[in-house]
Amino acid sequence: MDEQELVRQIQDGDEMAFAKIVNIYKDKIVNYLYQFTGDYQRAVDLSQETFMRVFFKANKYKPIAPFSSWIYAIASNLAKTEMKKVHRAPTVSLDDLHNSYSSGAFSENPSESGLTRNIRQSLKALHPRYRIPVILKDMEGFSLEEIAQILKRPVGTIKARISRGRNYLRRELEVGLKEEDKDLEKKEKSYGRA
pLDDT above 70 for 151: yes
To the question of pTM greater than 0.75 for the whole model, the response is no
Q: How far apart are CA 168 and CA 126, in angstroms?
A: 8
Question: Quick one: which of 88, 72, 91, 2 has its CA closest to 32?
Answer: 72
What is the percentage of the chain residues whose pLDDT exceeds 70?
Answer: 75
In this structure, the chain runs to a length of: 194
Q: Report the C-alpha dihedral over residues 164, 168, 171, 174, rounded to 10 degrees.
A: -120
Q: What is the mean pLDDT of residues 22-34?
A: 93
Instruction: Give the N- to C-terminal CA distance of the chain in Å, as an integer.
Output: 63
Structural domains of the chain, ranges and CATH numbers in brackets: 1-91 (1.10.1740.10), 94-194 (1.10.10.10)
Cβ-contact 183, 102 below 8 angstroms = yes
Q: What are phi and psi of 119, to 5 degrees?
A: -65, -45
Contacts (Cβ under 8 Å, ≥6 apart) of 64: none
Confidence of residue 87 (pLDDT cuts 50, 70, 90): low
* Higher per-residue confidence, 105 vs 151: 151
In tens, the pLDDT along 90-141 reads 454 444 434 444 444 444 555 566 667 777 788 888 888 898 899 889 888 8
In the chain, % of residues over pLDDT 90:
38
Cα(71)–Cα(58) distance, rounded to whole angstroms?
A: 10
pLDDT band at 84 (very low <50, low <70, confident <90, very high): confident
- Amino acid identity of residue 115, one-letter, is L
Question: Is residue 7 within 8 Å of 63, Cβ to Cβ?
Answer: yes
Q: Tell me the pLDDT of the chain averaged across its residues.
A: 81
